[in-house]
Amino acid sequence: MPIKHFTVTILLLTIFSGYSQTFSQYTPDSPYLNDPDRLIAFVDSCARFWFKSYDATYGGFYTNVDRQGNVITSWGTNKKPLTQTRHAYGFSKAFMLTGDEVFLQKSRDALSFLYAKGWDNTNGGWYNDLNRQGTPVSTTASKTAFDAHYALLGIASLYEATRDGLAESWFNKGYDILENKYWDKSSAFGYYDQASYNFSSKSGKSFNATVDALTTHLLLMSRLTGDLKYKTKADSIVLNILNRIAPTMDNQQIGFAEEYNTDWSINQSETMTIMGHVLKTAWVLGRSYHLNPQTANILAAKKLFANVLLKGYDHSFGAPYKDYNRQTGQMLLWGIQDSAKAWWQVEQAITGGLELWGLTGDDEFLRTADESLGFFMNFFVDHTWGEVYENTMRRGGRVWGEHKGNGFKAGYHSVELGYLTYLYSKIYVKKEPFSLYYKFEPSLTARTISVNPLLTANGKLKITGVTLDGMPFQDFNTSSLELNLAANTGGKFKVTFTPQDLTSIAGESEAVPEGFVLHQNYPNPFSTGSQSGNPVTTISFELAKAGEASVKIYDVMGNEIANPVSGFYPAGRHQFKFDGSNLNSGVYFYTLKTVSGTSSRKMTLLK
């Protein structure tokens, strides 16, 4: 089913300059954005699907699962640690949305197997694969930062829902391995991509070793604990994204380089770029902005997102495509005749689009999320047996099988999509209260527990109600999003959050620039026109006091194409005409920079 509208317009800079953020005129079509409570049932269904794949004899969840939830024995009865941790994430989030404690038990079932069988007690770190009984398939196989990061995903998620002491202990154990064995402390800092089984050798850097540290645990633990070590590490990872990974996009036909040598030089033998990785990077830069509000995060996030929309997105049927050769720009079809889409990559367009729309108010992010969510719910979700398929054709047909579980697919991305889309929709789209559940066991000492559900602007959420085992609970901090638990107090908490209106978001933690205004160009759009024959538009700005000012024009890829204003200007209103006769049709951006701050607007040239 084709999407009903298409406009490629990505704002590459949105910094607020003394005026309130105006959210979009675009109205989402997806019933899941307009009625987010529908996502609760979706998450519940996805999580329950995996119950059938639990091995009651030896424990743990099977990795290879067919459409109905049965084990695909012909593929092997292995139980990858990756499967256990991803299921644990999905079960924990399902509990937080539904309050059904059966999901907590399932999460603990998955993690119990992970703790007992997945850890290398001799050399440290996590095994890559286990057989049915939990014996490592190979005790000398290489270990990866990817597996080390993802092992912490489900552990951290259960910790968020319960503050489980065992989960905390195992998280610390896994985190210490990352810091002491995988982290390169040299000037080429970052997580090594791979290590030998005993960590005697380590090599490489990569997208997965870098960005997945943020998505699996660093952002979550920074939010929950406020511990500076997590925020500091997150800042280091963001620096590598901004200085190492994102800049490689400028020399590619599409996407960025994903594999690197140990010194961060590009591994030229790997030329694949994955649209889901580009979108995920944009998404985590937006999320990281809330921890450290740097304009560079927003600029890079928008440039990355724009790259996918311009070169790797299906504007006829919605949602991003899969994989490309970054050097040639050619789509990788993997033996099929038509293009394909992957469930987790489409998720990044949805969650990334909603995060960046929440930060900037730019319609195109919301439109992308809406279109992609429509495609996902129509063509990835199995409305008969539950959960989602791994891949679809461009128009929605099945490709590469109808299985639901394998070495890389489990109960993570589908539940994450539902859970985070629920939060984003409640907070930014509908702006209405929502509730989440937590189960905290009593403690001998008093505790203050953060229940902040999402990295957002300061003051964006407030707690407006709490119950403990169904009875009103009054000891909470409305603004800091904390529960105060006296000694021996515990049980199931239902916490209600209410979004608050803020005048701006992407500038909320920085000083809001004052003393200047950048006006919308006029006319906009501007074109050759049947009479004028010359695409000229007027741009104006005002300064409260005299000072240096410059105006630069950028294309959608962030390339500077003109610098029509630069110098010392007196206080007052100034204007100039911009001639686009030498430019192609499309969207452009003009940015005013003064000693007081920076502001940017979007304009459209038609020929």
State the residue for tokens 């139980």.
Answer: 79
Q: Are 202 and 144 in contact (CB under 8 A)?
A: no
The model's pLDDT over 451-504, given as tens digits with 9 standing for 90+, comes to 999 999 889 999 999 999 999 999 999 999 999 999 999 999 999 999 998 754
Q: Report the 3 state secondary structure along 350-384.
A: HHHHHHHHHHHCCHHHHHHHHHHHHHHHHHHECCC
Task: Tell me the pLDDT tens digit for each residue of 149-200.
Answer: 999 999 999 999 999 999 999 999 999 999 999 999 999 999 999 999 999 9
User: Which pLDDT value is given to residue 533?
Assistant: 56
What span, in angstroms and rounded, lies between the C-alpha atoms of 471 and 478? 18
Other CB atoms within a 10 A radius of the CB of residue 511 amount to 8
Residue 20, CA distances (Å) to 15, 44, 505, 513, 527 in order: 11, 38, 9, 12, 29
Cα–Cα nearest to 438, from 469, 417, 471: 469
Q: What are 130's strand-pairing partners? A: 136
Average pLDDT over residues 349-376: 96
Binned at pLDDT 50, 70 and 90, residue 522 comes out as: confident
Q: What is the DSSP letter of 216?
A: I
The mean pLDDT of 521-534, rounded to a whole number, is 68
- List of residues 6+ apart from 338 with CB closer than 8 A: 393, 394, 395
Residue type, 157: S
Are residues 271 and 325 in contact, defined by beta-carbon separation less than 8 angstroms?
Answer: yes
pLDDT exceeds 90 at position 371? yes
Hey, what long-range contacts does 133-138 have (CB within 8 A, 24 or more apart)? 133/58, 134/58, 134/59, 134/60, 134/79, 137/78
pLDDT surpassing 70 at residue 308: yes
Q: Which of 84-98, 448-462, 550-564 has the lowest mean pLDDT?
A: 550-564
Residue range 433-461: average pLDDT? 96
* pLDDT over 50 at 348, yes or no: yes
Q: What is the pLDDT of residue 505?
A: 43
Tell me what the pLDDT averaged over the chain comes to.
Answer: 91
- What is the pLDDT at residue 530? 40
User: Over the range 447-464, which residues count as b (16 or more CB within 10 Å of their CB) and which as e?
Assistant: bebbbbbbbbbeebbbbe
**Residue 509: its pLDDT value, please?**
36
Please report which confidence band the pLDDT of residue 15 belongs to, taking 50, 70 and 90 as the band edges. very low
Whether 12 has a pLDDT exceeding 60, the answer reads: no
How far is the C-alpha of 217 from the C-alpha of 150, rounded, in Å? 8
The pLDDT value recorded for residue 581 is 87
Residue 332, pLDDT above cutoff 80? yes
**Predicted confidence band of residue 591 (pLDDT cuts 50, 70, 90):** confident
**The token pair that represents 539 in the structure block:** 């741009």
Collapse the DSSP code of 417 into the 3-class scheme (helix H, G, I; strand E, B; otherwise coil) and give the result.
helix
At 18 the pLDDT is: 27
Buried b (16+ CB within 10 A) or exposed e, 218-256: bbbbbbbeeeeebbebbebbbebbbebbbebbeebebbb
Give the whole-angstrom CA distance, residue 549 versus residue 546: 9
- Identify the residue whose tokens are 């743990």: 60
Q: How high is the pLDDT of residue 524? A: 82
Segment among 119-133, 162-176, 571-585 with least mean pLDDT: 571-585
Q: According to the model, what pLDDT value does residue 155 have? A: 98
- Sign for the CA dihedral angle at 151, 155, 160, 161 comes to positive
∠ CA 96-102-106, rounded to 5°: 95
Residue 22 has pLDDT above 80, yes or no: no
**Weakest mean pLDDT among 63-67, 168-172, 365-369, 574-578:** 574-578
What pLDDT, on a 0 to 100 scale, did the predictor assign at position 511?
Answer: 33
